[in-house]
């Protein structure tokens, strides 16, 4: 066990003295959790193999799943990548800093462990003053996966980070809750047309406007387990975002059908004596009978839904709920990212409400 230092920092005007404490830890090979606009990241010096290994260990992350390298200056991309195609430049221009990660051919500068032995590298520039200041002061690109134990929901507050990693990392910069709440979109630019490997904070609709042609990798939109022979994004193989409770996702075109199905299932689980939770939306939450009912927000405001998703999943754990019945949301805008996380969290236990 280490002592994990927690320092508060303003997300709008971060004090340089606080940032410097964190930067010194990074430069010495230590582990610092910090806020980004999406979720908290667990940062280490991307060019220090020992530090990267320590990060994998602290998170209990499988060593075949590489982190994203965070930069504060576009020039660093030309150092970390062997070539930077036109599409990448367009995307960086349009969306950086912001919740978009690009996959490019890696350069020799990047240590093997940082990319888990792949020939490609994942890079993004976060839109958060604390993250950007930390990268600049550390004077090195920062490798940072989400700052949760592997498999758990990503952390959107410093409290979530501490719940998973207190005593396992050197420091947390507490910059308050994150704004977006789901992780960045990961887009592979080493293939043609570019392919979205993980839907996230930058929507498909926005990407199409800039790139004309973009594909969604089958795994990114799968509603059942896709057999993966060779995963380009290693993360897709592992169970993810999972609360301790069993999560069942109920999908359907018609809201009324979804509500009916969830209530039927909730009644069944409660009869069996299981503590049952419903993950609902503002439009439906009032109508359920269950042990715990939580609303993600209005179905018409997917931003709020995305922002509250991981928080709600973690709260069900705090309430010791054993089964969570979750409503599906529309597959557009941020809804695509939300559904991708819910489907994975369910381990693809999905009930289609329209089909009976």
Nearest residue (CB) to ligand TXA, 233 versus 295: 233
Helix (H, G, I), strand (E, B) or coil at 230: coil
Report which residue's Cβ sits closest to ligand TXA: 235
Give the burial class of 167: count Cβ atoms within 10 A of its Cβ; 0-12 exposed, 13-18 middle, 19 or more buried: exposed
Residues 93, 94, 99, 104, Cα dihedral to 10°: -50
Q: Rounded to the nearest whole angstrom, what is the least distance from the CB of residue 41 to ligand TXA in the complex?
A: 3
Q: Which does residue 68 bind out of Mg ion, ligand TXA, none, counting CB within 5 to 8 angstroms by kind?
A: ligand TXA
Q: Which does residue 22 bind out of Mg ion, ligand TXA, none, counting CB within 5 to 8 angstroms by kind?
A: none
* CB contact at 8 A, 130 and 15: no
Q: Rounded to the nearest whole angstrom, what is the least distance from the CB of residue 10 to ligand TXA in the complex?
A: 19
Beta bridge partners of 100: 185
* CB contact at 8 A, 45 and 55: no
Looking at residue 314, the DSSP 8-state letter turns out to be H
* CB contact at 8 A, 279 and 326: yes
Q: Rounded to the nearest whole angstrom, what is the least distance from the CB of residue 335 to Mg ion in the complex?
A: 20
Q: Rounded to the nearest whole angstrom, what is the least distance from the CB of residue 101 to ligand TXA in the complex?
A: 6
* CB contact at 8 A, 202 and 184: yes
Give the burial class of 17: count Cβ atoms within 10 A of its Cβ; 0-12 exposed, 13-18 middle, 19 or more buried: exposed
* CB contact at 8 A, 340 and 221: yes
Chain positions contacting ligand TXA, by CB under 6 A: 36, 38-39, 41, 65-68, 99, 101, 103, 115, 118, 120-122, 126, 144-146, 183-184, 186, 197-198, 232-235
Nearest residue (CB) to Mg ion, 146 versus 190: 146
Q: Rounded to the nearest whole angstrom, what is the least distance from the CB of residue 2 to ligand TXA in the complex?
A: 21
Instruction: Mark residues 122-161: x for contact with Mg ion by CB under 5 A, - for none.
Output: ------------------------x---------------
Tell me the two tokens of residue 70: 């965070």
Nearest residue (CB) to ligand TXA, 222 versus 292: 222
Applying CB under 5 A, which residues contact Mg ion?
Answer: 146
């Amino acid at each position: 066990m280490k002592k994990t230092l927690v320092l508060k920092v303003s997300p709008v005007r971060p004090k340089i003295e606080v940032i410097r404490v964190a930067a010194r830890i990074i430069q010495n090979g230590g582990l610092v959790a910090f806020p980004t606009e999406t979720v908290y990241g667990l940062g280490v010096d991307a060019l220090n193999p020992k530090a990267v290994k320590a990060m994998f260990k602290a998170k209990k992350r499988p060593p075949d799943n590489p982190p994203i390298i965070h930069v504060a200056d576009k020039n660093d991309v030309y150092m970390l990548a062997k070539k930077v195609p036109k599409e990448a430049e367009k995307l960086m221009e349009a969306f950086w800093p912001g919740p978009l990660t690009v996959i490019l051919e890696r350069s020799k500068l990047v240590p093997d462990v940082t990319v888990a032995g792949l020939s490609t590298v994942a890079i993004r520039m976060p839109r958060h003053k604390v993250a950007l200041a930390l990268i600049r002061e550390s004077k090195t690109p920062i490798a940072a996966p989400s700052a949760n134990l592997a498999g758990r929901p990503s952390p959107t507050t410093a409290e979530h980070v501490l719940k998973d990693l207190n005593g396992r990392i050197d420091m947390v910069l507490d910059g308050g809750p994150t704004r977006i709440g789901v992780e960045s979109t990961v887009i592979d630019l080493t293939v043609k047309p570019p392919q979205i490997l993980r839907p996230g904070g930058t929507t498909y609709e926005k990407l199409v406007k800039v790139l004309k042609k973009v594909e969604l990798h089958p795994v990114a939109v799968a509603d059942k387990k896709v057999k993966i022979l060779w995963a380009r994004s290693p993360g897709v193989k592992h169970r993810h975002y999972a609360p301790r409770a069993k999560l069942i996702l109920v999908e359907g075109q018609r809201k009324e059908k979804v509500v009916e199905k969830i209530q039927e299932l909730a009644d069944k689980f409660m009869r069996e004596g299981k503590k049952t939770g419903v993950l609902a939306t503002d439009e439906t939450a009032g109508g359920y009978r269950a042990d715990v009912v939580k609303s993600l927000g209005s179905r018409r405001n997917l931003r709020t839904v995305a922002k509250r998703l991981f928080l709600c999943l973690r709260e069900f754990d705090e309430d010791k709920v054993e089964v969570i019945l979750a409503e599906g949301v529309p597959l557009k805008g941020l809804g695509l990212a939300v559904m991708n996380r819910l489907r994975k969290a369910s381990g693809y236990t999905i009930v289609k409400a329209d089909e009976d």
